[in-house]
Structure 1
Amino acid sequence: MARQEANRWWLVFTGSYTPADREGIETLLFDAERGELKRLAGCGGVANSSYLAFDERRYVLYAVSEHGEGEVAALSVDRATGRLALINRQPSHGRSPCYVCLEPDGSRVYVANYMGGNASVYPVREDGGLLPASDTVQHAGSGVRPDRQEAPHAHSIMSDPSGRYRIVCDLGIDRLMVYRTSPDGKFEPAGAIHTTPGGGPRHLAFHPSLPLLYLLEELSSTVSVYAFDAERAAGELLQRVPMLPEDFKGANLAADIHLDPGGRWLYASNRGHDSLAVYSVGPDGLLTFIGHAPTGRTPRNFVPVPDGRHLLVAAQDDNRIDVMRIGPDGMPAAVGEPYASAKPVCIVMTPAPPELVSAG
């Protein structure tokens, strides 16, 4: 495939809140030139596949199953068709697993368990299958909101840009818990960043070149900017900005946060206001609010296409995925017809392999 073609076609995987007897994980092909999504395949057997992660080297998709006691599954991806096949699954060791990520070198998979208030780590076999968890770290404590912060609620886990740390956003205790991983796969506490009481840290994103992290706080519908000191595994609050209009009086839960690939714009999704809050990112990394882009109902998750021109938005309660084109001012707007999808709640993507594009 020529570079232009490689930038046109993208392989997309979606997770959803659907039962195991439905094809809750879909494989799609995104045509960035036309702004269109096309279904390639579906996969059942993983109920409530609420978060996904993709290993480009092994071509394996990892999915948490937010069902029963909780599981994480490994699925192989056929490069020519996009079809998924289960490799194996492991218990998540905490209820309501809601986030999965890979160590940068692909050697381990990490899962955050919301109701369990903990995180687990799994060694990865060469075929991408998951070995039993090598460790589970349990959080303790509570926050200032008894309705949502009665106990720890680990909502996400991801690596910092250096790959040295795993950072867990715990909504229930208003902390970012920072860990190293030992050679034998054990969590080693490295630090803790105390966030604004009652904010409810959910997801975070890192600046592509500056030592900054951007924290989305679900309960307060705010984005906080922290200077991240990788030597001390510590953070300093620099800025906190609202995600909602001042005159909005309805219920809202903030959901997801991403920067565009160039680090010029930051997007954060509102469930209730049903919008993306859009900010420009200054040379110092601080944020200036630009506006709100309307979305479908309950935009639980979204992903910037690496071409820097599009966003794909999972509108959970409208049963659709919106394709949005980013304008020169950073504002996204819907293009074409939404893709119909049952209760979509997670989207991940990778460049489409040549054999898939040539077959299509």
Structure 2
Amino acid sequence: MAELVFVGCYTGDAGNGTGITTFSRSPSGELGEVGALPLESPSWLVQHPSLPVLYAANELSAGGVTALAIAPSGTLSVLGTAETGGADPCHLAVTPDGRFLVCANYSGGSLAVFSLSPSGALLSRTALVRHSGSGPVSDRQEAAHVHMVVPSPDGSIVSAVDLGTDEIRSYTLTSSGGLEPLAVSALPPGTGPRQLVRRPGTDLAYVVGELAGTLVTVREPSPGAFEVVSTTASTCSPPSGPNLAAHVELTGSRLYVSNRGPDCVTEFALDDAAAVTDQPCGANPRHFALVDGTCYVAAQSEDAITAFTLTASGEAELRYYPTGSPTFVLPVSLH
């Protein structure tokens, strides 16, 4: 079984990457570059739930999404592309049944839905919904900025996290790929929500507040509707300067958040509702992935994937794997 890691990046004026870089991952967790596919700013990647197919968000002013086939060797090839209907798409998700791809257009302030063929190819855009509104942080919340779209566990609801309006807007996803308004949930003004992750087996979820540097615990009393439970700093020791909290991962009773400014990944013990440790991880950490006790971080301004072993002390040695302007880390096992 081949263990691969696909890395997305910024290209052109946005960064010095080249496209999607493929690394092999050894049993000890070391990475080795094995190939690259030129592609414009594939800043977010997602794998189809049951097929060897990837989707990349091309974060451009003329937003696009690219479908890619993964060969048994790990080589990527383009299956097709589509316009997202909004500028700077920054997040993608596939519904659990593999029928639809949903997309967040950051600058466009919108979310889009695409139907997928049984082979995973892009068929057509079935919905496009634009948000309106603003928030108190004038330079970042002058308009709606959809940063993430999260399908519910059964795929019947899509929740859009809007950094610009401090809201989570949820929609019913119809059988034909349409979006029908369901609920609007307000977060504390100036939060700048970036991402949301549900805790399985509970009605709790966690929201990263990029602009406030916070982790917001919310409850979902009814599907798609969220209520704020508590708010805490997204690091153990809030920095004196700016902190743009970025990605969140949940595994078991532990939650991890990347923080840009203090440049660390912070571990939280959810059962104790407390931050445990800050692990230095390189400059400008965006997305990261946890694999077999190792954290792989897209350290954008480091021009490298950094890796460290998860430890209780938060003092693990960093390993560096050079790659231009990385933004996303996607581990994949090929059978």
Whether the TM-score (by the shorter chain) exceeds 0.5 is: yes
Closer/same/farther in 2, CA of residues 349 and 245 from structure 1, 3 Å limit: closer
Conserved? CA contact 1:17–1:345, under 8 Å: yes
CA drift of 1:133 comes to 0.6
Q: Is 2:113 the counterpart of 1:113?
A: no
Indicate whether 1:255 and 2:237 are aligned: no
Identity %: 32
| Structure 1 CA distance for aligned equivalents of residues 129 and 317 of structure 2 | 41
Q: Structure 1 residues 347 and 95, CA, compared in 2 at 3 Å: closer, same or farther? A: same
Alignment of 1:215-226 (within 5 A): 215-226=207-218
Contact kept, 8 Å, 2:9 with 2:18, in 1: the verdict is: no
Matched, 1:172 2:158: no
Q: In the alignment, does 2:267 pair up with 1:278?
A: yes
In the alignment, what sits opposite 1:310? 294
Equivalences, count: 333
- The CA RMSD measured in Å over matched residues stands at 1.9
Equivalent position amino acid for 1:310 in 2: T
Offset at 1:182?
0.9
Q: CA-to-partner distance for each residue in 1:209-254, whole Å, 9 max, x for gaps? A: 22211000000000011111244x3222112110245562222211
- Choose which of 177, 202, 209 in structure 2 pairs with 1:185: 177
2:15 corresponds to 1:26: no
Q: Distance in 1 between matches of 2:242 and 2:206?
A: 23
The residue aligned with 2:287 is 301
C-alpha displacement at 1:57, in angstroms?
2.0
Instruction: Assess if the C-alpha contact under 8 Å between 1:304 and 1:310 holds in 2.
Output: yes
> Structure 1 residue 95 and structure 2 residue 87: aligned?
yes
Residue in structure 1 matched with residue 316 of structure 2 by the alignment = 333
Deviation at 1:330, TM superposition (A): 7.9
Question: What residue number does 1:4 align with?
Answer: none
Matched to 2:205, the amino acid is L
State which of 35, 42, 46 in structure 2 corresponds to 1:49.
42
Retained in 1: the 8 A contact 2:17–2:325?
A: no
Which amino acid is the alignment partner of residue 308 of structure 2? Answer: M
Secondary structure of the residue aligned to 1:168 is strand
Give the distance between the partners of 2:257 and 2:267, measured in 1 at CA.
7
Q: Distance in 1 between matches of 2:218 and 2:130?
A: 25
- Which of 114, 129, 133 is the matching residue for 1:137? 129
Q: Is the 8 A contact 1:52 1:62 kept in 2?
A: yes
> Is the 1:324–1:332 contact (alpha carbons within 8 Å) kept by the matching residues of 2?
no
In 2, distance between residues paired with 1:198 and 1:56? 35
Cα pair distance change 1:352/1:324, threshold 3 Å: farther
Aligned to 1:38: 32
* Structure 2 counterpart of 1:268: 257
CA–CA separation in structure 2 for the residues paired with 1:72 and 1:215: 25
1:349 aligned onto 2:317: no
Give the corresponding residue for 2:9. 16
Contact conserved, 2:18 with 2:37, CA < 8 A, in 1? yes
Asked whether the 8 Å contact 2:277–2:313 carries over to 1, the reply is no
- Report the alpha carbon displacement of residue 291 of structure 1 after superposing the two structures with TM: 1.9
Using the TM superposition, give the Cα deviation of residue 71 of structure 1 relative to its aligned residue in structure 2, in angstroms. 0.4
Between 1:248-257 and 1:13-22, the stretch displaced more is: 13-22
Say which structure is richer in strand: 2
Q: What does residue 292 of structure 1 align with?
A: 278
1:131 to partner: Cα distance: 1.5
Counterpart amino acid of residue 26 in structure 1: T
Q: Confirm or deny: 8 A CA contact 1:74 1:130 kept in the other structure.
A: yes
Is 1:205–2:197 an aligned residue pair? yes
Matched AA of 1:252? N
1:40-85: per-residue Cα shift (whole Å, max 9, x none)? Answer: 22101x2111101111422111001112311000011101x21111
Looking at structure 2, the residues matched to 240 and 310 of structure 1 have their Cα atoms a distance apart, in angstroms, of: 28
**Structure 1 residue identity aligned to 2:261:** G
Cα gap change, 1:102/1:194 in structure 2, threshold over 3 Å: closer, same or farther? same
For residues 158 and 125 of structure 1, the distance between their equivalents in structure 2, rounded to whole angstroms, comes to: 21
**TM-score with structure 1 length normalisation?**
0.88
Matched with 1:319 is 303
Q: Which amino acid aligns with 1:224?
A: V
- Partner of residue 357, structure 1: none
